[in-house]
Each structure stands twice: as structure tokens, then as C-alpha cells.
Amino acid sequence: MDLQTKAIHVGYEKDSQRTMAVPIYQTTAYEFNDTQHAANLFSLKELGNIYTRLNNPTTDVFEKRFAEVEGGAASIATASGMSAIFYAIVNASEAGDNIICASQLYGGTLTQTTYTLKRLGIETRFFDVHKPEAIEALVDERTKIIFFESLTNPSIDVADIEAITTIANKYGILSVVDNTVATPILCRPFEFGADVIVHSTSKYTTGQGLALGGIMVERHNLVEKLKNNPRYTHFNEPDESYHGLVYTEVPLPPYSLRARLSLLRDLGAVPAPFNSWLFIQGLEHLSLRMQEHSKNALALALFLESHPKVTKVNYPGLKSNANYKNAQKYFDGGASSGLLSFEVSSYEEAAKVVDATKIYSLVVNIGDSKSIITHPASTTHQQLKDDELKACGVSQGLIRISCGLESINDLIADIKQALEA
């Protein structure tokens, strides 16, 4: 089955009502048939509904569908992208361990790794996403995860996925890829050796800025990498908190099983059933939208490149961009999603352009059908000094756009009048 068909059909079996739309099961808990049935569910002799913190039939359809669209074996939906990232990391690591992260990261991931995980005793070692060869020097026997974004937000770089997963495989370390900006429509990290993929579904999956959510997907046969691997004793030794279950000994995808049975049980942070339903609606047309976001962004980038007031344009789909080669290799037909940025001469000039636009909304989000414009130097990166700004590729005059689905003629005309105002 092709992606587009899976995104519309997988995981939903109609009940006696035969509803075409997936029902929203807005419930906290589920009634057991009798004590034997309850006991079977709790001991995993039977799989079924217990409590919505562990699973929910609407969320279940979303998880099955998203896992298939991403080409994975199973997935765990979460309350936000940040919780999906946290689960993907702490599922394999604990105090005393370390993880290796590309330094080009989403702001929340940067603070989660630098501050919150550090307080929990998990150290993060950073590498430049353009220099994957630097990873090997950072590896030791307590390294549990190599984490990076396929298409980085906000720096808009494209990772050499294969180069990074090759190193992860050499040392038997799990690679975790944040595929939020590229989406499974444009980029297929499992086909290039990734082990686990995470997303913020708050962005392109919902597609209209409707709901916060995240998802963690594991590849097929991940058990091969975990079984008897001394880095991952949690998966090979009995889990005391689940009456001695050994995750690599049961015929279920182990990374998701452990995340569900221990992390969802103990930490929660699951999506509301209604939000899962919104993500199901978003998935149905994700593929059409991603082609259109990419087409609009490329046309806008080409226009900006030709404008005399613009000193630089960053978009991986442009031949002039340092990421062009990786974009051609890793993205479907080179289609590079909706994020682009460009520079004008100064902070004041950038503020003037942003304030003069009429269609673009000044918002710190991406992946909406509505176009979004941001000025990092006055918002997300306001606290940083000039040299720190430079280090993360943000100049005073940098403007970032999440290109929406409006008519490209209107999007270009609006930016043009704002530049020339």
C-alpha cells in the first residue's frame, strides 16, 4: 500500500455503527468483563483497554496509522513533541548515562537536554550536524542515544542521516531522529538506518495549528539491536515494576512496549482523545499539504533571492544552499518543506518588514496552513549576545517564515510590499 492510502485507512476497523469517521472515544476508563478478564489484561495474557493513560481506541488508530506512514513497527502518541522526545531518551537512559546530540536543535530540545536531563544525571554531548565524523570521539560505554533532527528547526539544516546512523550502528547505539519539519511524506529516516523517530504532531501533522501532540515511532526488528546489547540492560533484564517482564523476550516491538508499560504508566502525558482525532484528520491530507508547502516555500525563496534588499536566503531547496545536496538525497524529489529564512540589513529593517506584512502572522509556531513570520533576534533569541547569536546562525536582520498554503502570488506580493514599504 502506498503512503497516501495508509494515511487514510490504516488502523480503523468499523464497529457495528459503521461510521466512516474514526469515533472519538472520550473516556478515562473501560469496563472489564469479569475479574479473570481484568487479570489477563494486567498480565498481558490478553491485550485490551484498561485506562486512557495506557491506551485509548481513538489514539490507537492514530498510533497504528502514523507508525505505518512512517514505515515503523509501532508508536506511542504523547501529549506534546517535548514529551515524545523525553520518552525517547529516558526509555534507554538513566542517571550516569550520556547522550550525543546535534547542536542544531529546536529550542525546547536544547533546554531539555542542557538543563532538565542534566539535573536528572543524564549528560548531553553536542556535535555540529555538518560534522558527523566528530561523533566517534564523544562515544563511551555509557552513551545511550544519538539524537538529531532530519531538517533542523530553526537553523534549517539537513542532516546527513546515513553518516550518523552508520556511526550509531558501529557502536550498537540507538539513533533517534526528530522528523517533525520534514514529515514522513518528504523524508524516510528508517530507510537510512534510523532506529526511533519522534515528531511534534503540533506542527505539520495537525497542519492548522489546532492541537499539541507528539509521537515516538520505532523501526521494525529493533529487538535485534537491543537483545544482549550491554548498553541496554533495561530491555534484557526482568523489569521489577512489571512482574519480571523481559522486553526483548516478548513478540511485541520492545521500545514502544516499555514506553507504554513504564513511562506512560508512571509519567502520563498522553494526548486527549479529541487531539488524537484531530491528528487523524491531519494525516489524511498531510501528503498533499507537504507538496504544496514545499512548492510555495521554493517559489518564495527564489523570489527573495532575486530581491535587492535581501542579503541572504536559507532554503535547502535552493541550489545556492549548503544543504542542497543532502536535501536532494534525503527528501522526496528534493521537496524541502515550508521553513525558510532570509536576512535584511539590520534589526530595525527586519522589524519593519515583519510589521508591514499583512498576510503573515507574527507567531512562534511552524507547520500551519496559515503563513507565519518571526524575527528571532527580538523574540526566541532575544537574550543572546551578538557572538552567541552568530554561533546559532541568527543575525539581527534574520527573518524566518513558515510558508503556508495561501496563494503563492499573494504571499510573494505581500513580502514584496513589506520589503519596499
Ligand X SMILES: *Cc1c(COP(=O)(O)O)cnc(C)c1O
Least distance from C-beta 180 to ligand X, angstroms? 4
**Any contact of residue 182 with ligand X (CB under 6 A)?**
no
- Cβ closer to ligand X: 257 or 366? 366
**Interaction of residue 212 with ligand X, rule CB under 6 A:** yes
Measured at CB, which residue is nearest to ligand X?
81
Q: Does 106 bind ligand X (CB under 6 A)?
A: yes
Nearest-approach distance from CB 80 to ligand X, in angstroms = 3
Three-state SS letters, the chain: CCHHHHHHHCCCCCCCCCCCCCCCCCCCECCCCCHHHHHHHHCCCCCCCCECCCCCHHHHHHHHHHHHHHCCCEEEEECCHHHHHHHHHHCCCCCCCEEEEECCCCHHHHHHHHHHHHHCCCEEEEECCCCHHHCHHHCCCCEEEEEEECECCCCCCECCHHHHHHHHHHCCCEEEEECCCCHHHHECHHHHCCCEEEEECCCCCCCCCCCCCEEEEECCCCHHHHCCCHHHHHHHCCEHHHCCECHHHCCCCHHHHHHHHHHHHHHCCCCCHHHHHHHHHHHHCHHHHHHHHHHHHHHHHHHHHCCCCCCEEECCCCCCCCCHHHHHHHEHHHCCCCEEEEECCCHHHHHHHHHHCCCCEECCCCCCCCCEEECHHHCCCCCCCHHHHHHCCCCCCEEEEECCCCCHHHHHHHHHHHHHC
Applying CB under 6 A, does 183 fall inside the site for ligand X? no
Chosen residue from 109, 287, 336, 396 binding ligand X by CB under 6 A: 109
Q: Of 61 and 198, which CB lies nearer to ligand X in the complex structure?
A: 198
Q: Establish if 180 lies at the interface with ligand X (CB under 6 A).
A: yes
Out of 193, 207, 214, 271, the residue judged to bind ligand X by CB under 6 A: 214
Residue in 70, 157, 160, 178 binding ligand X, rule: CB under 6 A: 178
Which residues, 6+ apart, have CB-to-CB distance to 14 below 8 Å?
none
Q: Which of 23, 71, 108, 334 binds ligand X (CB under 6 A)?
A: 108
Binding mask 307-346 for ligand X (x = CB under 6 A): ----------------------------------------
Q: Which of residues 351-410 bind ligand X (CB under 6 A)?
A: 366
Q: Is 275 in the site for ligand X (CB under 6 A)?
A: no
Minimum CB–partner distance for residue 377 and ligand X (Å):
19
Considering the complex, state which of residue 217 and residue 418 has its C-beta at the smaller distance from ligand X: 217
Taking CB under 6 A as the criterion, the residue among 41, 73, 74, 82 binding ligand X is 82
**Is the distance from CB of 304 to CB of 342 less than 8 angstroms?**
yes
Report the nearest approach of ligand X to the CB of residue 74 (Å).
20
User: Does 200 contact ligand X by CB under 6 A?
Assistant: yes
Least separation, in Å, of the C-beta of 284 and ligand X?
20
Among 63, 149, 195, 292, binds ligand X (CB under 6 A): 149
Query: Which residues inside 61-80 make contact with ligand X, applying CB under 6 A?
Result: 80
Q: Write out the residues near ligand X by the rule CB under 6 A.
A: 80-82, 106, 108-109, 149, 153, 178, 180-181, 200, 202-203, 212, 214, 366
